[in-house]
A = this chain, B = another copy of it.
Amino acid sequence: MTNLAVEVAGIKLKNPVLTASGTFGFGREFAELYDLNLLGGVMVKGTTLNPRLGNPPPRIAETPAGMLNSVGLQNPGVDYVIREEIPWLRQFDVAVIVNVSGHSFDEYAEIAARLDGVPGVDGLEINISCPNVKGGGMAFGTDPKMAAEVIKRVRSRTQLPVIAKLSPNVTDITEIARAVEAEGADAVSLINTVLGMAIDIKTRRPVLANIVGGLSGPAIKPIALRMVWQVAQTVNIPIIGMGGITTAEDAVEFLLAGATAVAIGAGNFCNPMTAPEVIKGLKNWLSQEKIDDVRELIGGLKT
């Protein structure tokens, strides 16, 4: 029997494949397509203290082997999530990680406090890297001091595992990773989207109403892999790797680079069956390669 189970930040995952925040809603839609019990975990949509409307449309632009989004954290607010979404997700045997987004240190801390002890919540992913909200979001994740402060505040208000979600829009991602590790992050997840832009030459306007947006999909896979590898060389906490994964082979690359688990983001759009197909493909690949424990791959890159 091939073992697929891994543990990240104390969270047990039956397999190392999660769905990335913002690309999977709260799981309801995909539950119509496949059994969510198949997944290692679900990282739900970025959740703020109060409901948020997000940015005006258009919010989506297609780019070569990828896409831009400027959703801007439209979400119903943490109380609604606790009341309506988490209880629904609890019916599945799947790790539930709530993605927490804030505009201030206090907001991050308050959301974390409200989620602490909520049955069905297995961990918090602290989104200090959203490129789509003004005066906040990414700013927290591009300055090591601010990143550390967010994690410190969150850490002090929750018993839940804390996963810091890092931004790729930085000169040195290892510096941020070290800063959040020092303040007690139990894991890091990376990468969030890369800030990008698209222009409609017919109208001479940006395609996105927000002008800029976050680039994701296979286009950014080389950047994500490099950052996962760099961070794996730097910190001792586990990594959830993401950025452009669409196949089991992609997932193996991230594991070899040092990720303990991986998440599927935009890959859920180009093929909504991506996550279960990656899990199945990973299992097949492992048995074909005669590897009986997926954990053997983690950080197994020979350099």
List the interface of chain A (C-beta within 8 A of B). Answer: 61, 63-66, 68, 142, 169-172, 194-199, 201, 203-206, 211-212, 215, 217-223, 225-226, 229, 244, 249, 252-253, 256-257, 300-303
Contact = CB atoms under 8 A, between A and B. Distances in A.
Nearest to A226: B197
Contact of A301 (B61, B196, B205, B303): B205
A242 to B, nearest CB: 15
A219 B64 contact: yes
A222 B218 CA distance: 13
Main SS class of interface, A: mixed
A176 B227 CA distance: 22
B225 A196 contact: yes
A226 B212 contact: yes
Contacts of A225: 196-199
Contact of A204 (B211, B219, B300): B300
B256 A204 contact: yes
Closest 3 CB pairs of A and B: A196-B222, A64-B218, A219-B219
A257 B303 contact: no
Contact of A196 (B63, B226, B252): B226
Contacts of A195: 223, 226
Contacts of A171: 142, 169-171
A215 B219 CA distance: 10
13 contacts: A63-B222, A66-B222, A170-B171, A171-B171, A195-B226, A197-B222, A197-B257, A198-B225, A201-B249, A204-B301, A204-B302, A215-B223, A219-B219
Contacts of A219: 64-66, 218-220, 222
Contacts of A199: 225, 253, 256-257, 301
Contacts of A66: 64-65, 219, 222
B303 A63 contact: no
Nearest to A143: B171
A225 to B, nearest CB: 5
Contacts of A303: 205-206, 211
Contacts of A194: 222-223
A130 B300 CA distance: 28
A201 B253 contact: yes
B170 A64 contact: no
A3 B201 CA distance: 19
A206 B170 CA distance: 23
A283 to B, nearest CB: 15
A172 B171 CA distance: 8
Nearest to A253: B199
